[in-house]
Chain A
Amino acid sequence: MHSDPGAAAVLVADVEEEAAALDVRDVMRYLPHRYPMLLVDRVDALVPGVSAEGVKCVSINEPYMTGHFPDYPIMPGVLIVDALAQLAGVMLRSDAPAPQAEGAASGPRPGVLASIQRMRFFRPVLPGDRLQLRVRLLKTLGSVHQVQAEACVSDETVASGELLLAS
């Protein structure tokens, strides 16, 4: 399933725990985001509080493709960042007490973005691309979490940087 087992090993090599997989219904138990802002389709390898890998499949039917741009549909970079932030939210929230079956929004906040650092975008993300999302917790200080984040398409990095999330 993983087209890049090497990169996956880098992220979880120092972790002894078994990584879990979540389908989108499980993802929605952790995140309050819904259409059109739920930007994680699936989580392939989740180690709560440590790291996560997920997938976002990009389609021409994304609502923003209509205007971004009419003659050149590409996924907005800020939404790539939000997809990574959402996956980081799953990573952080899954480390907390078990989520409610309904209404994830009633639980603790999903790790809202506090800062975007050193984020670079290397190539456009087009309809048909399968975004491979990877996040790893670097540091936690009180309620602020520093996360290394990377998005790839066909094992080529399209965006990478660091996020600070507050909880």
Chain B
Amino acid sequence: MEMTNEGVGLVAIKDGLKALIVERLKLDIEPQSIKDDAPLFDAAEGNDGLSLDSVEALEIVVGIEERWGIVIQDDSVANEFYSVDSLAALVDRLLTAGADQPTVEAVGA
């Protein structure tokens, strides 16, 4: 949308996501060969999808949580686990939310 730091952050997040996906799933491809808008799970003729499965999805979630220190809820996954684009938006949103307010643990303590 806007050419601010947020835009730069998204690019870095996308690059990080691609590296994470290739590394954690031990894929035999180059990270930059993953297209931003290609479906991660529903590969079809011509859409360059990766055909990942549910176990690999959980691997990615755990990897994202470890790398960025955020928590991804089960119910946010269905809509936002489509592509690197949508995943990066999710990570960016959670990072922003995490910076704005104290953690749940801090509130509960």
Contact = CB atoms under 8 A, between A and B. Distances in A.
Interface residues of A, number: 11
B55 A114 contact: yes
Given A139-B61, A139-B62, A144 B74 contact: no
Q: How large is the interface on B (under 10, 10 to 19, 20 to 34, 35 or more residues)?
A: under 10
A106 interface: no
A1 interface: no
A100 interface: no
Nearest to B61: A141
A154 interface: no
B95 to A, nearest CB: 19
A115 interface: yes
B43 interface: no
Contact of A166 (B54, B74, B77, B78): B54
B18 to A, nearest CB: 20
Contacts of B10: none
A136 to B, nearest CB: 15
B58 interface: yes
| 3 A-B pairs with least C-beta separation | A141-B58, A144-B58, A114-B55
Interface of B: 54-55, 57-58, 61-62, 74, 77-78
